[in-house]
Structure 1
C-alpha cells in the first residue's frame, strides 16, 4: 500500500506542475471525450449486437457476487459459480463460448490472461463498485486490444470523476456467511484536480462445503481535467484466498443415488475417508478436505491515461498499464513417489504424502493509443497497442512424509512463458445521409509466444510460435426514422492457441478463424423497445475437447475443420406506467460441429494380476453434433414494480436449456435445463442530514430449484483382456445454491 500512495502523490504533484489552467465549467469537462473508449466501443448506429449497463442498473444487485453473476440477465449469457453462491471462482459464457473467447478490456486496456486467455474475476473482487458502465458486444464486435473476441467483447469503463466530494459505504450480510463491506471517498473537482478511492472486503463460506472466499480489493484514482487535456492515474488491485472447489461433484452424489455412489467408490478405489465424504455430504460435497487446499493470489494494476483535444476535429489518447501478479495454489497429495518430483533421485520409488504449491509469478505491460479525426459526417480512428507478458511457472514442496530426505522449498519444475502482442487498426465511420451509416474496420495483429522449461508434470516444454492475423470488419445501418433501424455486418476474427494447447498437445494446433455474419433490427420508443439480431458464426479449425489425452493423461483440445453457431437474439421491453415495466430477452440457436473423431482410451488388464496388458485409443467418428455447453435456448426476464416512490420490487427469471458436457450429443453426458427465479427489492431514503440511505435485498433461487450450471465428463475402458465391456463414463457437476439471500445497506454522504 505504501507504493500505491506514493505513486498517487507523485502523480498529483507532477500534474500540478504541468498545468495551471483555471477551472472549467461542467459542460467543458463533459465535452472532453474519452478518445480510446470512443474508438473501441459500439455506438447506437454501429452495426453490431451490444448491450450497455450503467452503474445505476447494477446498484441494487451489487451485493458481493462476482461480475459474471451480475451480467446473468444479458442476452445469450450463461453464468456459473464453482462455490455455488456467486462468490469466488465464477464463469461466463456468451453464445456458448467460454471466457477464454470473451475479450475483456478495462478502460481500453486488455485484461484477459495472456497465456490461458481466460478472465479471473476473483482477482478483482467488488470491482463493479468502481465501474461507470459496461458494454457487452456479442460476436466479433468492434476493434479490440488484446486477445481475439470469438464470442463477445466485454468493455468496462471505470467511474467518471465526481464534480462534488462524496463518501459512500456499503455493508452486506447474507446466506453461507457471506458479507461485504466497502467504503468509497472522492474529493470532487478542485481546481481541475480530483482524487477518489475505494476499499472493499468480501467473505463467504460458500454453498459447497469448505468453498470459502476471503477477498479484499482497492481502487484509487487521481486526475486532472482541463479544457483540452485530461490525465488520470489509476491503481487498483485484489487479493484472494479461496478454498478450492474445482473438482466438482460426481453425478451420483448430486442425484443422491446411493447405489451409484457406492459403484463410484468401488471402481475408483476410494479411501474410507473419501467414501464417507461422498456418502454423507449430499450435493454440497467437496472432494478436497485438507484444511489449506487454497488458491492464494494477488494482482495489482497501474494505469495512466492521457487525452488531448488538439482541435475541434482532432484528438488523441495514450494509455499505459503495468500489472503485477503473484500467487499459488496449494495441494495435499497422498501416495506420491519421490520420482514424481525429483525423477533423477536414487530414491525415486520411495512413497509418501506431500504438500505442494504451484506458483505463477507474472508481469504484464500494455501500451495502447488512439487518434481520432471527426468532422461533419466522417469519423476516422487510427489505433492499436503493444502488450508484453512474462510469466514464471514453478512448483515447490513445502512438506512431505517421504522416508528419505528431499529438498524442501526447492523448485521441482520451472518454465517461463513470454508473449508479445502487437496490433493496429484503422476504423472509419461515415454518415452517408440521414438514413445510411457505414462502418469499416481493418485490424492487423501479430502474436509471438515462447515457453521453455518443464511443465508441472515434468515434461520438457519448447515452444516458439508466431502468428499474423488480419481482421477486417464491415457494416451498414439503415435508419427508417428516429425509431426504426436495420443493420448488417461481416467480421473476421483469428485467435491463437493458448498455452496448454501449445505445451500439452503432441501435434501443433492451428489457430482458429471465425467469419461472423450479423443482421439486426432495432425499435426504440419512449415507452417500449424491441430488437432482433440474427447471427451466423462460421468457424475454421475451432479447438474443442475430443476425448484425446496428452502423454500424462490430461485432456487436450484438437482442431475441428468446420463448425458453426447460428441463432436469433430477441429483446423487448415495455413500460406500462411509472409503476410497472417488463424487460425480456431470448436466444434460440443451433451450435454444431460438422464432423470429428472422439477418442476413448482402452486399458486392458490381466484379471489375475491386475497388470496392464494394453493401452490404446478407441476412435469413433461423429457428424453434425452439438457443441458442448451451448444450449439451444437461453432466456431471461425482469418484471419491475414500483408501488411507491423510491421502492422497486423485481422478479428476475432465467431459463437455460439443456447443455452437453462434451461434443458427442450424448444425453448421458449432459446437464438438464433449468429455470431459476430471483427476487430483488430496493428502497431509498433521502434524509436532510445525508444524501441517501439505500436498502437492497436479493433473494436468489426463490423457488428452491436444485440445478447444476457447469460440469465435465470423461470416459475410459478398464476391462479384462479381450472382453467386450462397455466404457465407463464419469460425469461431474457444479451444483448451485438453493434459496439464499443477500441484504445490504448503502450510506451516501
Structure 2
C-alpha cells in the first residue's frame, strides 16, 4: 500500500496500495541498464509506466533522490531537472509553488497520489503548502508528460504526476532526523515501520514539524505532518490497507508581485540592485510586524484500499477515500476614509501604513456609517468535504492480452465565504451583501489558525459572514476501460473513459425568486448542470533489440470546464456559451539503453481549443501594491504546444554518473479570444482606454507566459569512497515569457509587440552526503548538505505584466507634437533608472531566491 500526504483543495486521496513495483526507467538515475528498473506493477489503481513498454514520455524520481536533493526546497522543484518541466516558488511563501509541464500550468496537470486524482474538483487547483510533509512519505514520483497512462477520465492536458507513498508493510525500521537551513528553517521528523507480522498485520507511523521563514521578508511559517497506515493481509488473495494523513499549516504570503522599480527603491543597501526579498504584503501595526496575507489549512485524508487477487488471471483493486479540508487565506476588505488599503500608501521602507489605517478605523462608527466604511483583514474560506471510490478489475486473457475496466465516482462539496480576521482598530465591519438579512455589523473575529479536527468541524455562522457566501457541489460518475497487448518486442494499448460531472452553485446571499442576474430571476440553488466528457487514446511501443525502442501515442479529450466556467461572473446563471474544451495530442519517442549510456528523444504536439479561463488580476498598480483586485473571464482561447525533448544518463564508472536534459518548445495562442473584466464584488470594470468591460483579446501568435520554452540541465554524481557522495547540477532557462496581461492585449497595436521575453538565467546547486555506519548494519547516521543557487544569481522567474520598452510612438498623443514626443522619448530612453536587464522597471515580477542552504542529520535504526 502507498500513502499520501496532504493537500488543500482536495483531499489527498491516497489509494494506498501495496506495491511491488517495477521502477520505470527515468530520465534521472534509471536510464542506466546497471540499474535496470525493477518492473513496478502496483497492485492498486495506480497506472505506472514501464520502461520500453508503456508508450509515453516518462521520468521517475526515486525516494533516495528526494531525500538527498529536496532539502528546504518546494516539493515540485525536485522535478526541475526533467525535460519540459518548470517549477517555481511562486510568490515565495511556504508551499506557494507552481508547476508547469510542456507549457501547461498545474490546474491542467493531473496530480495523482497512488493513482487517485487530487486536483480541486471545482477549479483544478493544487495547493502544495498543504502537502508540506508529502515528501516525507514518498517512495517515488513519476512524471508522465503528455497524455500519460492513467485509465481514469482525467484531463492530463500537460501531463500526469503520480506520487507513490510508503506502504504499511514496509520493512521494519525507523528514522529520526533534524534539519536546519537559511532564515531559521528547522525540521524534525520521526518515523517507524513495524514490518509485517506472522498474522499479516503491519503499520507505519510518521510525525514531523517544519518551521521558520523562507528567503522572502515576513514569510514565517509553521507546518506539521502526521501519517499512519495500518495493513492487514489475511491471505495471499486479500490485502487491506487503511491510511490517514494530514498537514496542518499556517504561513505568511507574498501574493502581489511588486514592480522592478520598487524592488530597487526599497533595497536597504540603496545600491541600484533589486531587493529580492522585498514583500509589500505586510506592515507594522502597534510596533509589531503584521501580515495582511496569511494562508492556513488542514486537509486530513483517509483511505481504505482493498486488493483482491481473485485468481491467477483476475484481480480487483478498490480504494475508498475521504477528505475534510478546512482553512483559507487572508487579505483586505472595505475602505476607510474613502481609501482602500493600497491607497493608504506605504512607508519609506515600502511597507503598508497600517498604523494610519488603525487610527482612521477608530474614528468610524460602523453602525451609522455606510456599509464597507471600515477597512479590515478578512479571511476567504475555501473548505470542502470530498468522498470518492475507484474500483478497477483486470483480466489476463492470455500471455499477451489483458483488459481492465472500472468505475470512478466522486462527491465534492466546497464552502466559500469570508469572515473578519482582524478589525485593525475598527469597532466592527458593516456588510450589506447578504440580501436575506438587513445590513449587519460584524464584530466577531476569526484568527487564521488551522483546525486539528480530522473530520473538518463545523462551518461558521451565517451572521458572521461578509462579502460573499457561496458553495459549490460537484457529482462525478466515470467509467473506464483499457485493452493491452504485449510481446517481448511489441506492446500496444487502447483506452477510453467517459464521465458525467454535475455542477451546482449555492449562493446563501441571494434572495430566492427576487434577485435578478443577467436579466434572470435566480434562486439560492441553481440545480445541477450535467456535462458529459470523455477521452480516447492509444499507443504502441516496439523494441528493435536490447538497446533500441520507439513509441508513438495519440489521443483526444473532450474536457468539462471548471465550475466558474459553468456559472461565470459568480452568478447563479448557467453560461449560455458553455462548451467542452477539446484537446488533441500526438507524440513520437525513441529510446536507447546500454550499461554506459542511455537516452530518450521525444517530439510532441498538443492543441487545446474552446478553452474558458478565469484569472485573478490587479488594476492601477500604485506604490508597490494593487489598488483594485478582481478577475477576468476569457473565452474562445486556443493554444498550441509543441516541441522536442532529450534526456540522457552516462555512467562510465560505477562511482561516476552524468545526467542531462534539453527541451525546446513552442507554446503559443492560436487566434484571438474575448474577455470580460470584473472587480471582487462582481461589478463590471472597464478595460484600459475603454468604456466597456468586454473586449477582444489580440492573442494570436502570442507566447504562453511563465512557461520557459528552452530548458537544459546537466549534473553529475561522484562517489569517490564508500558512503561519501558529491553531486552538482547546472540548470539553464531561456525563452521564458511574461504571463498574459489582459489590459495589454486589448489594444491591437500594443498586443502586436507580443508577450514580454524575460532574461535567461543559469543556476548551480551542490550537494554532499556522508554515511556513518555502526556495528549494526541497520543503524547508521547520514549527514546531508545542500546549497541552492550557489553563485547567488539574480534572476526573474515570473512576470505578471508585459510592459515593453517604450518607442517614440508611445509618447504621441493628441496634445503632443512629434517633436515633443521625441523629446519625451529621449528623456525616457537615456535614463538608466528606467531599465533593468533590458526590461522596463514598471513590470511586476517575482525574482527567484538568492543563495540558500539546508543541512540534515538523520539516524536510521
When the two structures are superposed, what TM-score results if normalisation uses the length of structure 2?
Answer: 0.73
Q: 1:242 touches 1:296 (CA, 8 Å); kept in 2?
A: yes
1:748 is matched with which residue? Answer: 860
User: 1:176 Cα deviation (Å)?
Assistant: 1.3
SS at match of 1:556: strand
Taking structure 1 as reference, are residues 715 and 46 closer, same or farther at Cα in structure 2, changes over 3 Å only? same
Which residue of 494, 515, 520 maps to 1:440? 494
1:329 is matched with which residue? Answer: 329
Q: 2:218 touches 2:291 (CA, 8 Å); kept in 1?
A: no
User: 1:496 Cα deviation (Å)?
Assistant: 2.6
Which residue of 558, 573, 579 maps to 2:649? 573
SS at match of 1:595: coil
Which residue of 504, 519, 523 maps to 1:450? 504
Q: 1:180 touches 1:203 (CA, 8 Å); kept in 2?
A: yes
Which residue of 586, 592, 604 maps to 2:662? 586
Which residue of 689, 693, 696 maps to 2:781? 693
SS at match of 1:351: coil
2:361 is matched with which residue? Answer: none
Q: 1:389 touches 1:420 (CA, 8 Å); kept in 2?
A: yes
SS at match of 2:156: coil
Which residue of 628, 649, 653 maps to 2:730? 653
Per-residue Cα deviation, 1:639-658 (whole angstroms, up to 9, x for no partner): 11211112111111211113
Taking structure 1 as reference, are residues 553 and 692 closer, same or farther at Cα in structure 2, changes over 3 Å only? closer
CA–CA distance in structure 2, aligned partners of residues 515 and 57 of structure 1:
34
2:709 is matched with which residue? Answer: 632
Q: 1:32 touches 1:227 (CA, 8 Å); kept in 2?
A: no
CA–CA distance in structure 1, aligned partners of residues 373 and 170 of structure 2:
66
Per-residue Cα deviation, 1:560-601 (whole angstroms, up to 9, x for no partner): 454211111101111011222111011111112122157799
Per-residue Cα deviation, 1:92-127 (whole angstroms, up to 9, x for no partner): 111111110110111222211111211112102121
User: 1:284 Cα deviation (Å)?
Assistant: 1.3
Q: 1:538 touches 1:564 (CA, 8 Å); kept in 2?
A: yes
CA–CA distance in structure 2, aligned partners of residues 124 and 670 of structure 1:
32
User: 1:700 Cα deviation (Å)?
Assistant: 0.2
CA–CA distance in structure 2, aligned partners of residues 276 and 62 of structure 1:
31
Which residue of 73, 83, 92 maps to 2:99? 92
Which residue of 794, 797, 805 maps to 1:709? 797
1:101 is matched with which residue? Answer: 108
Which residue of 222, 234, 243 maps to 1:234? 243
User: 1:53 Cα deviation (Å)?
Assistant: 1.7
Taking structure 1 as reference, are residues 122 and 303 closer, same or farther at Cα in structure 2, changes over 3 Å only? same
User: 1:346 Cα deviation (Å)?
Assistant: 7.2
When the two structures are superposed, what TM-score results if normalisation uses the length of structure 1?
Answer: 0.84
Q: Which piece of structure 1 moves more, 356-365 or 30-39?
A: 30-39
Return 5+ residue gaps in structure 1 as ranges: 1-24, 262-274, 603-611
2:35 is matched with which residue? Answer: none
Alignment of 1:214-613 (within 5 A): 214-225=222-233, 226-254=235-263, 256=264, 282-290=275-283, 291-293=290-292, 294-333=294-333, 335-336=335-336, 347-348=369-370, 351-374=373-396, 375-400=398-423, 401=426, 406-409=441-444, 410-412=464-466, 413-431=468-486, 433-453=487-507, 464-505=528-569, 508-543=577-612, 554-560=630-636, 562-597=638-673
User: 1:684 Cα deviation (Å)?
Assistant: 1.3
User: 1:435 Cα deviation (Å)?
Assistant: 2.5
CA–CA distance in structure 2, aligned partners of residues 49 and 644 of structure 1:
35
Q: 1:549 touches 1:556 (CA, 8 Å); kept in 2?
A: no
Q: Which piece of structure 1 moves more, 403-412 or 193-202?
A: 403-412
Taking structure 1 as reference, are residues 476 and 82 closer, same or farther at Cα in structure 2, changes over 3 Å only? closer
Taking structure 1 as reference, are residues 745 and 314 closer, same or farther at Cα in structure 2, changes over 3 Å only? same
CA–CA distance in structure 1, aligned partners of residues 813 and 500 of structure 2:
51
Q: Which has the higher strand share?
A: 1
User: 1:218 Cα deviation (Å)?
Assistant: 0.8
User: 1:632 Cα deviation (Å)?
Assistant: 2.1
SS at match of 2:65: helix
1:607 is matched with which residue? Answer: none
Taking structure 1 as reference, are residues 351 and 624 closer, same or farther at Cα in structure 2, changes over 3 Å only? same
CA–CA distance in structure 2, aligned partners of residues 122 and 324 of structure 1:
16
Q: 2:428 touches 2:443 (CA, 8 Å); kept in 1?
A: no
CA–CA distance in structure 2, aligned partners of residues 622 and 667 of structure 1:
8
CA–CA distance in structure 2, aligned partners of residues 157 and 95 of structure 1:
22
Taking structure 1 as reference, are residues 745 and 509 closer, same or farther at Cα in structure 2, changes over 3 Å only? farther
User: 1:355 Cα deviation (Å)?
Assistant: 2.3
Per-residue Cα deviation, 1:323-359 (whole angstroms, up to 9, x for no partner): 000012223457358999xxx9974267322122211
Q: Which piece of structure 1 moves more, 173-182 or 162-171?
A: 162-171
CA–CA distance in structure 1, aligned partners of residues 113 and 271 of structure 2:
42
Which residue of 140, 150, 156 maps to 2:157? 150
SS at match of 1:481: coil
Q: Which piece of structure 1 moves more, 292-301 or 345-354?
A: 345-354
